[in-house]
Structure formats: C-alpha cells, structure tokens
Chain A
Amino acid sequence: MLRFIVQRLFAAAITIWIATIAVTLLIHLVPGDPVRIMYAGFQTTEAEIEAIRARLGLDQPVWRQYFMYLGRVLQGDLGHSIVGNQPVLDTLLQRFPATLALTVSALVIAVVVGGSLGFFAAYKRGTAWDFGAMTLAIVGVSMPHFWLGLLLLFLFSMTLGWLPVGGSGWRNLILPALTLGLATGAVIARLTRSAMIDIFDQDFVRTAHAKGLPKTLVLYRHALRSGLVPVVSMLGLQFAYLMGGAIVIENVFAWNGVGRLAIQAVFARDYPLIQGFILFFATVVALVSVVIDVTYALLDPRIRYGT
C-alpha cells in the first residue's frame, strides 16, 4: 500500500513539474512583447518597461528564467500580480476556500442525485422509468452549465425570491452548488447506470438472489458495493471537471473563487497571475486525484496488487 501511495505521489510530482515548464513557456509563446501587452493599460516609459522586464527576469535566457521560476516556486513565491501588485499565492489561497466549498458541495449533490438516478434506472432497466431517467440525464449532459445556472437564478431568485442573486454567504452557495452538482450528476447517472447493469448481470448477484436473500440486501450489500467501484474510479476525473466547471459557474453567480480571478486575469493579460493559477490548479487536481486513487485502492484490493 505504501508503495502504491509513493508511486501515485511521484506521478503527481511529475505532473506538477511539467506544469512549471508549461507555465514558463506560456509567456514566451505570446505573439509580441508580453511586457507591453501586460502594461498596455498603464502609462509607462521605455525605462520602466525595461525595469519591469528585468524584474520579471524576461531579459534572461529561457532556461535561466525557468530555473529562477522553479527556485521561487519551491520557496512558495509565485510572483506578484500586475493588477494590484499582490503576491499571487496569497491571492489564490485567499480565494480558494470559496472554490473548494463550491466544488465539494457540488460533488456531494452530483454523487447523491446522479448515483441514485443511475442506480434506479439500472434497477428498472428497459422500463419507462429507465427511459425517463436516462432522457433526463442526457438532457442534463447537453445543457450548458451556465444556462442551467441562469434558469435556476430566474426561477429561485427572480420569480420566487427565495434565494439571493449573488454574494458570498452560505445562502449564495446554494444555487451555484446546485447548478454544478446537477450538471455533473447527469454524467454520474450515466456512468452509474452502465456500471450497475454490468453488476446485475454477474453470477454472484444471481447466486445471491437464488439462495433466497432478501432483495434489498442483495441490492445494497452485493450489487451497490461492487457497482460503486468503477464510479469511484471516475471521481478523480469528475473532480477535475468540477474545478473546471467552477470557473464558469463562479462567473455566473459572482462567486468570488479562484475561477473568477482566473478569468479576470486572462482579460487583464496578468501573466504572473495566470501562470500562478494554472500551476495552482494543476497542483490541486493532482493531489486530489492521489487522494481519490488511494481511497479507490482501499475499496478494491485488486488495484493495490495490480500495479
């Protein structure tokens, strides 16, 4: 088990390392002069431009810049944002709890709603219930997340007046979490259904039924447990998508997380902030997938011994 965890951590470290290279190259791929683009909205003299270039290390050869950047990153310094001149890491950490609250509550909603819908559809396979549940799921998959968000906003905030339109309290979390959770739940419903159908066809389920065990015991003890394994294995990827989806949803509901910050950074061409965001995002996703992989290995011993 320890070897498995070390292997997974090593893979995560490689991912983060490649992200540092990608992030350094990013600024060099910008057509034109990145410093002039970043400071397009500011009053700057030639001398100031050169001073900024030197401060950001952009006058050095690329390999040297990379090692300088890597050295600073290892010390926890992601540089300063162009807009507002704030330390990038502090800004990201300050915004991150909001994004985490959103993604975790959305994940819970997605697993509960999507998992039960998929389980129910598989149980009622071939009936109108199954067709109805899967129609709902494919409509959910096809709806743009942000449109679902706008519809919920229209219904619950504007028409019924139950929930606030935007802000940062827990009541403001309900709609964005519901939006992101339902959208992801549609994907999870489809995955769960096909995983459960495979399980229902297996010999051990038939045996359990045949030896006269109560139906609910077979369903929950035998079938659901094994059916959850492939679903849990997909959660790492789903979490990455949730983090990605949060970028858009935070902007719909003016939820002040890292996603909203990232979009503002792209608009302002705030390269230190964009670089920091990408590195931060890659790190979080890599670490969460290690946690999920380890959980998965605890659930299914075959994984531990297989790799």
Chain B
Amino acid sequence: MSAPAEPVAAAPVAPRRAIWALLRSPSGAVGLAIVLLLVVVALLAPVIAPYDPYRMASGPRLAPPSWDHWMGTDQLGRDVFSRIVHGARLTLMIGTIAVGISLTAGLLLGLVAGYAGGWPERILMRLVDVVFSFTEIVIALACLAILGVGLINAMIAIGIASIPFYARITHSVVLVEKNKPYFEAAVAAGASHLRLIFLHLLPNVIPTLIVVGTLGVSTAVLAAAGLSFLGLGAQPPQPEWGFMLSSSRDLISGAPWMMIFPGLAIAITVLGFNLLGDGVREVLDPRQRAR
C-alpha cells in the first residue's frame, strides 16, 4: 500500500493577495465565514449563551425547542443551545492541540528523514508507513489504553495518531524541494545542516502544511467527537458535542433535538474547515483552479 500522501505542491503567495484570492473562491469564502463564526462563538460563549451550560433545570426536562430554549433541553433540564455554544470552545481547543502535536512532530520527522536521505530516511519512513497502516483510530485507542480516558488524553491520542500522516506529506515535499536549483545552490555555498533545514526547506514546506493542517483540524474534530461519543474522550458534565450525541442515543425517539443539534454543530464545523482547506489549496496551488 503506497502513496496516499499526495504532495500538494503549494507555492508561497503574498499574504494580502492570498486573502483576496481566498475570498474570491466560493469554498474558501464559505469556509472562512464558518470558521470565523465558530471562533466568535467560542470567544463570546458566555455572552451568547442564554443559560449556564452546566446548570441543571434551566428549564423543564426534555423540553422541545421553544422560544425560551431554541434547541430544547436535555434529560437534566440543561439548555442544549447554551451547551452547544460553550462546546465550540472545546472543539476549537481539540482542533488546535491535536493538530499542533501532529503537525510539529510530523514536520520534524519528515524534514529530518527527507534531508538526511540514505538509510536513516529508509528506516524512518518505513516505520512511519507501518504505523500509518494501523489507522488513526487504532493508534488513538492504544494511546488511550496507556493514558486512560479523558478529553485531554483524547486530544493527545489524536495528535499522536496523525503524526505519520504529516510526516509522510512533509517528507514528500522535502524530496521535491531538495532537487530544486535554489537548494543545490545553498548546499554548494556551504550552508550548515541547520541552515539548510530551517531556512531553506522549512519555508517551502509550510504552504503545503497550512493546507493539510486546515483539513487536519476537521479530521481531529471528527475523531475527538467519535472518541467522546464512545465515552473515551469528554466526561460528564463537559458540553462536548460528541459526548452530547452519545447521551442522546437512548432518547432519540422522544427527544430527537438532543441528537440533531450537536451533530449539526460538528458537521458544520468540519465542513467549514474542509471548505477552508480546499480554498487555501486553490490559492496556493494554481493548478487546482482549473478543476
């Protein structure tokens, strides 16, 4: 099994022009709008949420959506809308921490392997390929078996699980960059290893990783919601969307709103990051625009 890590072949673009180009692409603009909305909701959660997300009996139990409770209430009488609004904070935190871990570690691994070449590269990348084939969920389960359940551990587990993916992509970009004239010139000019890696290779890997990282947030959010749904991530009473879905499972027929709204929140968030990632890719890789 080889080659899912397709190099995105992104090129650096001036920031201001990039933002305009992003806004002109339909998927980029919609994606950016959704992500910005999510950030605003997360920042202003206490102002936006009409009730305390943890307070029981904010209203009657299992009340359907109404003027007082836009998304109804759950089995403990907590306001679903307020919980979803506060859940945006957890979701953003999950995305940032998980992608931060996998991006940093994967970037270093890929850079070092690609730069070193020879047998260190072969061994490192072979190992990365093997771990990659175990799939993220199984690696995450193994990490949780070691660390124990909980939302923070789930974020770490998801971060670790995606390291091979980022390492492969970084590695594939480094292989391309290493053969370009500017890099050979830098080698010929006698640049040091660190200088070659961090001043020459790194800046050229970053555009690709911005794309992959943006798409990666959606994967991380989905994975975290999945783990929380299984009860391995967020614990009660955290207003985490995946966990809210799992507590709705036995009440679907009587209180479908408990299942519909958190799922919608996850789907819209993931869609936002997917569209933003596609948009950024179009901006950074003009070849894609023709599609």
Contact = CB atoms under 8 A, between A and B. Distances in A.
Contact of A240 (B135, B248, B274): B135
B142 A154 contact: no
Contacts of A233: 3
Contacts of B226: 144-146, 248
A49 interface: no
A128 B222 CA distance: 29
Contact of B134 (A19, A29, A151): A19
B267 interface: yes
B89 to A, nearest CB: 19
B149 A247 contact: no
Indicate the member of A26, A142, A233 with the most B CB atoms within 10 Å. A142
Interface residues of B, number: 47
Interface in A124-169: 138-139, 141-147, 150-151, 153-154, 158
B130 A154 contact: no
A269 interface: yes
Interface in B132-155: 133-138, 141-142, 144-149
A241 B133 contact: no
Contact of A138 (B135, B142, B274): B274
Q: Which of B3, B4, B230 has the most CB of A within 10 A?
A: B230
Given A26-B142, A29-B146, A248-B230, A150 B134 contact: no
A26 B135 contact: no
Contact of A14 (B130, B225, B256): B130
A15 interface: yes
Contacts of A247: 137-138, 141
Given A266-B144, A266-B149, A147 B4 contact: no
Contacts of B253: 154, 158
B232 A282 contact: no
Nearest to B274: A142
Interface stretch (A75-83, A209-217, A285-293): A285-293
A30 interface: yes
Given A150-B245, A247-B137, A262-B141, A144 B259 contact: no
B65 interface: no
Contacts, number: 137
Contacts of A255: none
A143 B267 contact: yes
A266 B260 CA distance: 28
A216 B279 CA distance: 34
Contacts of B3: 233
Interface string B247-291: 011001100100110010011101100110000000000000001
B267 A243 contact: no
A29 B226 CA distance: 24
Interface in A215-230: none
Interface string A266-307: 110101001000100110011001001100000000000000
Contacts of B134: 19, 278, 281-282, 285
Given A150-B245, A194-B291, A18 B127 contact: yes
Interface of A: 14-15, 18-19, 22, 26, 29-31, 138-139, 141-147, 150-151, 153-154, 158, 194, 197, 233-234, 236-237, 240-241, 243-245, 247-248, 251-252, 262-263, 265-267, 269, 271, 274, 278, 281-282, 285-286, 289, 292-293
20 contacts: A19-B134, A22-B142, A143-B267, A144-B242, A144-B245, A144-B270, A147-B245, A147-B263, A147-B267, A150-B259, A154-B256, A194-B291, A236-B1, A247-B138, A263-B141, A269-B145, A274-B141, A274-B142, A274-B145, A278-B142
Given A142-B274, A150-B252, 19 more contacts: A15-B130, A138-B274, A138-B275, A143-B263, A144-B229, A144-B267, A146-B226, A150-B259, A151-B259, A154-B252, A158-B252, A158-B253, A233-B3, A234-B4, A237-B4, A243-B135, A244-B138, A266-B145, A285-B133
